[in-house]
């Protein structure tokens, strides 16, 4: 089975070139907001327990573009109790993939600042789950799983949390602190082999078909296709993002940390900042 899977993965580029597929997929993204309201002052329980967003994926035989569908909604949410939630990306995030050059570009906009993150498409070590199928948006989908660390996931998706507490750091510099092992998350993907294009939401892809469903085992994230159109001509809209300050993923992670520090400072150095 493993040998068959590797062979199938190596044939992805050939499938892509031969299929000449083009189309557009609409997705609904649901992100759970996990906050223990019992530990927050009065007012914080008004924070919603989930956020829904509409997104779409455009693709042709060599490129794909995954982007937010712009909707009228506030970018920031004041939940009370020193909790502030922001829409990560400002509703204008794009993931552009070119499978010929293996180029991955992420365009983000936060607090009127535009960023263009330069990266490459990485090999993702999916494990097939034979015998499990599901119908999504009218297509029979097959299951595969991927285990990653929380750092890997939240470094390339949209949910980040920053907490500040009242405990002062210890002045004893002789005490060695052993870093906790990174938390792992299992990604569950459902892909349609009748749409043989190796792409999907966000940075995910590399399967023998288009990813129409994506879930995390901790329940925080689900991205599910609601409609698939294989007749749409999307070539005129499949444009490579070009606006924003160009930087590496590591540089953007540092930039994001600074932004969250700024928001915490605006809250008087206390509280919790959630970028969603």
* pLDDT profile of the chain (276 residues), mean per 10: 50 50 94 67 63 94 93 52 50 90 93 91 94 96 92 51 42 50 88 96 96 90 96 88 92 86 69 51
Each as own residue / partner, the long-range contacts of residues 71-80 (CB below 8 Å, 24 or more positions apart, any chain) are 77/47, 77/48, 79/43, 79/44, 79/46, 79/47, 80/40, 80/41, 80/42, 80/43, 80/44, 80/46, 80/47
Residue 23: both structure tokens together:
């189309």
Phi first, then psi: give them for residue 194, nearest 5 degrees.
Answer: -80, -5
Q: Would you state the pLDDT for residue 171?
A: 40
Predicted confidence at residue 222, as pLDDT, reads 96
Q: What is the DSSP string of 145-185?
A: EEEEEHHHHHHHSS-EEEEE-SPPPPS-TT---PPPPPPEE
pLDDT at position 263, please?
73
- Residue 103 pLDDT: 96
244/242 Cα distance (integer angstroms): 7
Predicted confidence (pLDDT) per residue in 187-234, tens digit = 999 999 999 999 999 999 999 999 999 999 878 899 999 999 998 789
Write down the pLDDT at residue 38: 60
Q: What is the C-alpha separation between 39 and 233, in angstroms, rounded?
A: 51
The rounded distance, in Å, linking the Cα atoms of 17 and 14 is: 5
pLDDT at 33: 76
Q: 85 and 276 in contact (C-beta within 8 Å)?
A: yes
What's the pLDDT at 207?
96
- The arrangement of strands across the sheet holding 83-86 comes to 76-80, 83-86, 271-275, 160-164
What is the domain partition of the chain in residue ranges?
2-165+180-275
């Amino acid at each position: 089975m493993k040998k068959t899977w590797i062979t199938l993965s190596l044939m992805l580029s050939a499938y892509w070139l031969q299929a000449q597929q083009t189309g557009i997929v609409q997705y609904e993204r649901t992100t759970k907001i996990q906050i223990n309201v019992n530990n927050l002052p009065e007012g914080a329980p008004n924070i919603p327990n989930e956020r829904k967003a509409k997104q779409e994926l455009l693709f042709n035989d060599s490129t794909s573009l995954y982007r937010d569908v712009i909707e009228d909604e506030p970018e920031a949410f004041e939940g009370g109790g020193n909790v502030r939630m922001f829409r990560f990306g400002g509703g204008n995030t794009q993931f552009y993939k070119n499978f010929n050059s293996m180029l991955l570009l992420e365009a983000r906009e936060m607090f009127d600042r535009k960023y263009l993150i330069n990266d490459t498409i990485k090999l993702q070590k999916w494990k097939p789950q034979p015998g499990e199928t599901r119908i999504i948006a009218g297509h029979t989908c097959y299951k595969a799983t991927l285990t990653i660390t929380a750092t890997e996931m939240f470094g390339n998706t949209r949910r980040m949390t920053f907490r500040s507490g009242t405990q002062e750091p210890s002045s004893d510099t002789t005490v060695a602190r052993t870093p906790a092992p990174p938390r792992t998350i299992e990604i569950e993907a459902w892909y349609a082999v009748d749409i043989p294009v190796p792409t999907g939401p966000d940075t995910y892809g590399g399967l023998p078909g288009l990813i129409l469903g994506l879930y995390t085992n901790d329940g925080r994230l689900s991205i599910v296709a609601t409609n698939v159109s294989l007749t749409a001509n999307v070539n005129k809209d499949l444009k490579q993002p070009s606006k924003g300050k160009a930087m590496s993923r590591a540089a953007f992670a540092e930039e994001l940390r600074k932004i969250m520090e700024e928001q915490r400072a605006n809250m008087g150095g206390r509280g919790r900042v959630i970028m969603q």
